[in-house]
């Protein structure tokens, strides 16, 4: 099993248990590799695994969510495209956001910088599209923040209420909320 195949499995464990709850044993069970074998690909252990997974996640974010924002369609269409991919990215709200999980406890100090960068990149990309749609730059930035707030909050509520309807509704109303006249 190649390193590239292992990474998504590690990610899934991190997404389910958070950083401190994700144990090497759980990684072993998820990948089928013995605990020691994981140290072949990740000599620095758990923190390196999380760092690599975080890079992988950031790459996926860029390709799956941010790239559609840079197409030559209309701003509205581009936001709708991202939205659709957000739905898939978080598996209709059933998958926790790693960026949120890695902001907790021990992980917060370790990965704050990378998490912050990823979130800001997302916000900036969205704000750019909103500005192209004619929204004032400062308002565009705020609305972009609001979008991420709503996505993250919807994920929290999905877990807490054990029900994806809120996530779907939030996602559906997001494009018109973002593009409403000022």
Residue 170 CA to residue 54 CA, distance in Å, equals 26
Candidates 3, 70, 108, 169; binder of DNA (CB under 7 A) is 3
Site for DNA in 36-55 (CB under 7 A): 36-37, 39-41, 43-47
When asked if residue 169 is in the footprint of its own copies (CB under 8 A), the reply is yes
Separation between Cα atoms, residue 110 and residue 103, nearest integer Å: 9
> How many secondary structure helices (H) and strands (E) does the chain include?
9, 0
Q: Interface residues for DNA in 118-177 (CB under 7 A)?
A: none
Backbone dihedral angles phi then psi of residue 141, each to the nearest 5 degrees: -60, -45
- Whole-angstrom distance, CA of residue 79 vs CA of residue 66: 10
Minimum gap (Å) between residue 27 Cβ and its own copies: 14
Binding mask 32-71 for its own copies (x = CB under 8 A): ----------------------------------------
Considering only residues 34, 70, 108, 169, which one is a binding residue for DNA as defined by CB under 7 A? 34
Q: Is 139 in the site for its own copies (CB under 8 A)?
A: no
Give the residue from 153, 133, 130 showing the smallest Cα distance to 142.
130
Of residues 69 and 151, the one with the C-beta less far from its own copies: 151
Work out the burial of residue 100: count CB atoms within 10 Å of its CB; fewer than 13 is exposed, 13-18 middle, 19 or more buried. middle
Nearer to its own copies, 30 or 100 (CB): 100
Residues in the chain: 182
DSSP 134: T
d(C-alpha 116, C-alpha 119), whole Å = 5
CB of 71 to its own copies, least distance (A): 26
Residues in touch with its own copies (CB under 8 A): 16-21, 96-97, 99-101, 103-106, 108, 112, 115-116, 119-120, 142, 145-146, 148-154, 156-157, 159-162, 166, 169-170
- Binding residues (CB under 7 A) for DNA: these are 1-3, 22-26, 32-37, 39-41, 43-47
């Amino acid at each position: 099993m190649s390193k590239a195949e292992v990474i998504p499995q590690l990610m899934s464990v991190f997404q389910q248990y958070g950083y401190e709850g994700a144990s090497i044993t759980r990684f072993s069970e998820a990948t089928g590799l013995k605990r020691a074998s994981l140290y072949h690909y990740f000599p620095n252990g758990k923190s390196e695994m999380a760092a690599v997974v975080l890079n992988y996640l950031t790459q996926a974010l860029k390709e799956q969510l941010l790239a559609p924002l840079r197409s030559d369609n209309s701003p509205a269409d581009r936001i709708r495209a991202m939205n659709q991919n957000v739905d898939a990215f978080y598996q209709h709200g059933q998958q926790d956001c790693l960026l949120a999980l890695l902001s907790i406890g021990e992980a917060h100090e370790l990965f704050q910088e990378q998490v912050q960068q990823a979130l800001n990149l997302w916000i900036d990309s969205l704000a750019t599209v909103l500005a192209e749609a004619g929204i004032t730059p400062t308002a565009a930035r705020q609305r972009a923040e609001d979008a991420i707030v709503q996505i993250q909050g919807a994920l929290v509520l999905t877990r807490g209420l054990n029900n994806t309807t809120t996530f779907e509704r939030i996602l559906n109303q997001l494009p018109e909320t973002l593009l409403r006249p000022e």
